[in-house]
Structure 1
Amino acid sequence: MPASHSDIDQSRLARFLGFRLTRAKVQVHRALTSRLASHELSTTDFSALVLIDANPGLYQRQLGLALEISPPNVVPIIDRLVQREVVVRLPSKDDRRMQELHLTDAGRALLKNAEADVARFEQLLEESLTATEQRYIDSALKKLSAFEA
């Protein structure tokens, strides 16, 4: 009979910071993905909507850079959001070869609802930590985000 997850000795793995960070990321991502699923959004879709809303007229290339997604992988994300009629591509006023990204009214409404759910999720995350832990994790995450090996 195979061992269950709780029967497996993971102590050697647990001493590695990278492993623990990945484990925490997977757990948080799973919960966030579940929240966004009710809006038929992936975490990447949500991130794209937030960035487009905050930066009307953003170009696909700029969005890909901000999300650290290669240009060929940004196209299907934007195509999906355009097909849902929550994002539109408009010709750039500066360069007709470029297309600006904008939210539609439906996109703004979707984002408002999704962002409210994400805010409630964030509140639950924050409530799971003390104020001191929140400050430490914010500081640690800033340092780790800038880490280069």
Structure 2
Amino acid sequence: MGLVNLGQGIPGANGPTSVHANPGPEATDFRPDHAPDHIHLAKNDGPRVSTDTWKPLSEADSTKMTKEQSSFCRKLSDASKKILTARQKMIFKFGKLLSADLLLLQYISMGAAREGGLRGDVSMCEIFERLGGEIQYTGADPV
């Protein structure tokens, strides 16, 4: 199991700016370790880009990155970043992109878990986070 293309439908995601991810340890025993969430540009040994900051993951990745690749990352829309982040997480966890039906089921499950969490159900908060949701603590007591 190797790199999986994530760039379908993302403007400019082809050739030297194609976007890929590797399956993680849950999907294959071939890759037992993995850096923080990231994508690869162009090829496996191409620059890695953090899906949190959309900047090179390391100084070595920064050195590998071309001006075209840097510009591509800078110009990604928020919607494209969200799509690529979700796809990267899918590849890491499952080793493949999930079908639209499975994505819809995950979205519905995430919504139900979020609502349960907002009502104070700690187990629903845990499910929400496992599905990829992010809980933002404001310091205020829940209503």
TM > 0.5? no
Q: TM-score, normalised by structure 2?
A: 0.31
- CA radius of gyration, larger in: 1
- Which is helix-richer, 1 or 2? 1
